[in-house]
A = this chain, B = another copy of it.
Amino acid sequence: MRWAGAGVINLKTKSGGTQNSGDLKAIFHAKRLKCTPQRLAVLKVLKESGAYLSINMLDKKVKEMLPGTGLATVYRALETLEELGLVAKVHLEDGCHSYAVAPEGHMHPIVCTECNKVIDFAECPLGELSEKLTQDTGIVIQNHFLQLFGKCRECQA
């Protein structure tokens, strides 16, 4: 787990994606996975949406982009893309989970409770705290999960 640099809040929306298809191909091939249109479609739908999407919404949108794609394939694509670190689960307050494009580097999402938009922020406050906890208590912190919920500017009207 990489820690973000010092104090500057670093907000980043994901719409302006940086990977080109060549990068993606390399990422797949590095793990001997095929770069299939179905997998690319799932990722593209998430990128274009800029928000978190439930499996069913994803299935719907993927079928629009690539008719014939099966639901099971959407599940399998998400599993693969998550392993590759390209998408991330978003746990919602009601206990369900959805998916969003994974941020680059160590970031945590701010999820808009109105429009479902996902904005990442980089100031992770947990590096120092984790070390302190380990020193003080002997518990070895291996990982953490953090999400913020709120209202984006557009949704405050």
Give chain A's interface residues, CB within 8 Å of chain B: 9, 11, 89, 91, 93, 95, 97, 110, 112-113, 119, 121, 123, 125-126, 129-130, 132-134, 136-153, 156
Contacts and interface: CB of A to CB of B under 8 A. Distances in A.
A139 B110 contact: yes
A124 to B, nearest CB: 9
A156 B140 contact: yes
Contact of A137 (B9, B95, B97): B9
Copies in the complex: 2
Contacts of A121: 133
A136 to B, nearest CB: 6
B125 A148 contact: no
